[in-house]
Amino acid sequence: MRTRDYFGERSGLRTLIVPGLLGSGPQHWQSLWQDEHPEYERVVQKDWCSTNLESWARTILRQINIFSGPVVLVAHSFGCLAAVRATELAPAAIRGALLVAPSNPAKFDVEPLLSRLPLSCSSTLVASRNDPWMPYGDAVCWARRWGSRLVDAGNAGHINVPSGYGNWYEGEELLAELRTEVACEPSDNVVSLAA
């Protein structure tokens, strides 16, 4: 939950919604979550049709830098790829990432820009067995590379409105689990005075 200090900054663990291409419309689970949780912030890309991964990742970083405090990213589709890239650019600020139905990096020729090493934060990757944007086997490989907990969503399409997903309650549970996990992790910003 968001609190404000005397300087108007958000403190505590922040949640950033990172939509995919074209943004997430009003009936998309990301938008519905944000309606229910006004403290969640939304990353707004300059061009929702662009597939410039560096530009998308830098937009995430600008949103992170608006306020202080560690963040958890909630990404969908191409937004997952931008979120992963952002974790490489700002490893200290990002504490967790919920990566839902990531797009296949090979489709957008951005595979060389993405790390093949474990992410610097805790992450959960939710993959569908019949996602038109990412074959399930490829999602399994990326989850292993990134050190992500893999959640098999079954035949869930692209986990979006056309696939029948409005308010996705199972996803909210996954986010709550991830937030609890990262809230318990020690912060890099904490200095021990013990001898």
pLDDT tens figures, 143-171 = 999 999 999 999 999 999 989 888 899 99
Given pLDDT bands bounded at 50, 70 and 90, which one contains residue 192? very low
pTM of full prediction above 0.75: yes
Determine the straight-line distance between the first and last CA of the chain, rounded to whole angstroms.
34
> Encoding tokens for residue 33?
């979550």
Given pLDDT bands bounded at 50, 70 and 90, which one contains residue 12? confident
In this predicted structure, what is the pLDDT of residue 166? 85
pLDDT more than 70, % of the chain: 89
Given pLDDT bands bounded at 50, 70 and 90, which one contains residue 186? low
In this predicted structure, what is the pLDDT of residue 54? 96
- With tokens 């306020």, the residue in question is 67
| CA separation, residue 17 to residues 4, 62, 183 (Å) | 20, 13, 18
Given pLDDT bands bounded at 50, 70 and 90, which one contains residue 96? very high
* Domains identified in the chain and CATH numbers: 3-183 (3.40.50.1820)
In this predicted structure, what is the pLDDT of residue 139? 97
Q: Is residue 4's pLDDT more than 50? A: no
What is the DSSP track for the chain?
--EE-TTS-EES-EEEEE--TT---TTSHHHHHHHH-TTSEE---S-TT---HHHHHHHHHHHHHHS-S-EEEEEETHHHHHHHHHHHH-TTTEEEEEEESPPPGGGGT-GGGS-SSPPSSEEEEEE-TT-TTS-HHHHHHHHHHHTPEEEE--S-TTSSGGGT-SS-HHHHHHHHHHHHHHHTSPPTT------
- With tokens 């949103």, the residue in question is 63
Question: Could you tell me if 122 and 95 are in contact, meaning their C-beta atoms sit under 8 angstroms apart?
Answer: yes
In this predicted structure, what is the pLDDT of residue 187? 54
How high is the mean pLDDT of the chain? 88
Q: Is residue 2's pLDDT more than 60? A: no
